[in-house]
């Protein structure tokens, strides 16, 4: 049976929620990673993925500048990196300089991959749309990569940025 509640209460039932790290270069060529929980696949053929990025985030500028971005699925071992990339702003710091996280150049776009991620998807920017306090960026996947070792994906498993695996 259902009971009406405040949205803030109801949305606590969303966990576990997948985590991705989106990466785009800014106008100075600095690759800027940001941790996001709001993401989905949006097309099968051609393959496309979407992310929702808070309007105040520096990543808005980096994605608009680059017109491309990487979507990485961090592994369950990458919780510390995900927390760091999600809690600092690329306006103030060079996140990859401050937090050790191995990267590799992307093949088809001007971005980087996360070497230890479960998978990386290189996306060209297809479109953007405004939605409340976020911008939805839709990317077309032009190149895909997986880890040579089997890894579990990282999830937010409960309120307060509690991270872990989900299976």
Question: Tokens at residue 105, please?
Answer: 């150049």
56 contacts its own copies (rule: CB under 8 A):
no
Unique residue bearing structure tokens 């929702």: 52
Size of the residue set binding its own copies (CB under 8 A): 64
134 contacts its own copies (rule: CB under 8 A):
yes
Nearest to 66 by CA among 102, 18, 128, 23: 23
132 contacts its own copies (rule: CB under 8 A):
yes
Single out the residue of 77, 87, 89, 107 in contact with its own copies (rule: CB under 8 A). 107
CB 51 within 8 A of CB 22: yes
74 contacts its own copies (rule: CB under 8 A):
no
**Sign (positive or negative) of CA dihedral 88, 91, 96, 98:** negative
DSSP conformation class of 76: G
Single out the residue of 28, 29, 44, 92 in contact with its own copies (rule: CB under 8 A). 44
CA 66 – CA 124 distance, rounded (Å) = 9
57 contacts its own copies (rule: CB under 8 A):
no
Q: Which is nearer to its own copies, 2 or 28 (CB)?
A: 2
159 contacts its own copies (rule: CB under 8 A):
no
- Closest CB 27 distance from its own copies, rounded Å: 26
CB 104 within 8 A of CB 112: yes
| Residue 124 bridge partners (DSSP) | 68, 140
- Closest CB 9 distance from its own copies, rounded Å: 7
The one segment of 25-33, 61-69, 84-92, 150-158 that binds its own copies by CB under 8 A? 150-158
- Closest CB 67 distance from its own copies, rounded Å: 16
């Amino acid at each position: 049976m259902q009971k009406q509640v405040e949205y803030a209460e109801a949305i606590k039932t969303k966990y576990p929620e997948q985590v991705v790290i989106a990466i785009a270069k800014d106008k100075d060529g600095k690759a800027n990673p940001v941790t996001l929980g709001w993401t989905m696949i949006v097309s099968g053929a051609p393959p496309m993925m979407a992310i929702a990025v808070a309007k105040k985030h520096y990543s808005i500028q980096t994605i608009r500048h680059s017109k491309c971005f990487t979507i990485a699925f961090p592994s369950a071992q990458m919780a510390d990196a995900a927390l760091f990339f999600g809690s600092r702003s690329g306006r103030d710091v060079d996140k990859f300089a401050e937090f050790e996280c191995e990267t590799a150049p992307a093949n088809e776009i001007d971005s980087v991959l996360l070497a230890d991620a479960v998978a990386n998807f290189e996306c060209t920017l297809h479109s953007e749309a405004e939605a409340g306090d976020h911008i939805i960026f839709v990317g077309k996947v032009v190149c895909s990569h997986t880890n040579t070792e089997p890894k579990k994906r990282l999830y937010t498993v409960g309120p307060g940025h509690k991270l872990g695996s989900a299976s």
